[in-house]
Amino acid sequence: MKKYNSYVLGKWTFGEGEGTPLINAINGQTIGVVSAKGLDLEAVLQNGRDTGGPALRKMTFYERGLMLKKLALHLHGLRKKYYPVSHMTGATKSDSWIDIEGGIGNLFAYASLRRKLGSKRYLVEGETVGLSKGGTFIGQHILVPREGVAIHINAFNFPIWGMLEKIAVNLLAGVPAVVKPASGTCYLAQEMVQDIIASEILPEGALQLICGSAHDILDFVTAQDVVTFTGSASTGRMLKCHPRIVSESVPFNMEADSLNAAVLGPDARPGTEEFDLFVKEVRREMTVKCGQKCTAIRRVIVPEDLVDSVIQALSKQLDKTTIGDPSVEGVRMGPLVSKAQVEEVRDRINILARTAEIVYGTTGEVRPVGEGCENGAFLSPVVLHEKAPFKHTQVHETEAFGPVTTVMPYKSIEDAITLTRMGKGSLVSTIVTFDPDIAQTFVLGAAAYNGRILILNRESAKESTGHGSPMPMLVHGGPGRAGGGEEMGGERGVKHYLQRTALQGSPSMLAEVTQVFQPGAQYKDPGQHVFRKYFEDLSVGETVITHKRTITETDIVQFANVSWDHFYAHTDITSLDGTIFEQRVAHGYFILSAAAGLFVDPAKGPVLLNYGLEECRFTKPVYAGATIGVRLTVKEKMDQEKRDEEDIAKGIVKFLVDVYDETGETVAIATILTMVKKRQQD
Catalytic residues: 255, 294
Secondary structure element (H or E) that encloses residue 347, with its range: helix 339-352
Q: What is the DSSP letter of 52?
A: I
Long-range contacts of 73-76 (CB under 8 A, 24+ apart): 74/195, 74/199, 74/201, 75/104, 75/107, 75/192, 75/195, 75/196, 76/101, 76/104
The dihedral sign for the CA sequence 306, 311, 312, 313 = positive
**Residue type present at position 98:** I
Of 209, 81, 102, which Cα lies nearest the Cα of 165?
A: 102
**Residue type present at position 192:** M
Buried b (16+ CB within 10 A) or exposed e, 331-363: bbbbbbbbbebbeebbebbeebbebbebbbbeb
Residues 171, 68: Cα–Cα separation, whole Å: 8
Distances (CA, A) of 520 to 130, 332, 526, 631: 10, 64, 18, 12
Buried b (16+ CB within 10 A) or exposed e, 113-145: bbbebbbbbbbbbeebeeeeeeeeebbbbbbeb
DSSP string, 153-220: E--SS-TTHHHHHHHHHHHHHT--EEEE--GGGHHHHHHHHHHHHHHT-SPTTSEEE--S--TTGGGG
DSSP string, 289-305: GGG--TT-EEEEEEEGG
Secondary structure element (H or E) that encloses residue 631, with its range: strand 627-639
* Backbone phi and psi for residue 486, each to the nearest 5 degrees, phi listed first: -140, 135
Residues 201, 67: Cα–Cα separation, whole Å: 7
What residues form DSSP beta bridges with 503?
A: 140
Question: Is residue 300 within 8 Å of 310, Cβ to Cβ?
Answer: yes
Distances (CA, A) of 422 to 259, 382, 419, 499: 9, 22, 5, 35
Distance separating the N- and C-terminal Cα atoms of the chain = 60
CB neighbourhood size of 16 (10 A): 10
Provide CB contacts within 8 A for 322, sequence distance 6+.
330, 331, 332, 333, 369
Residues 288, 318: Cα–Cα separation, whole Å: 12
Provide CB contacts within 8 A for 384, sequence distance 6+.
349, 352, 353, 356, 357, 358, 359, 395, 404, 405, 406, 407
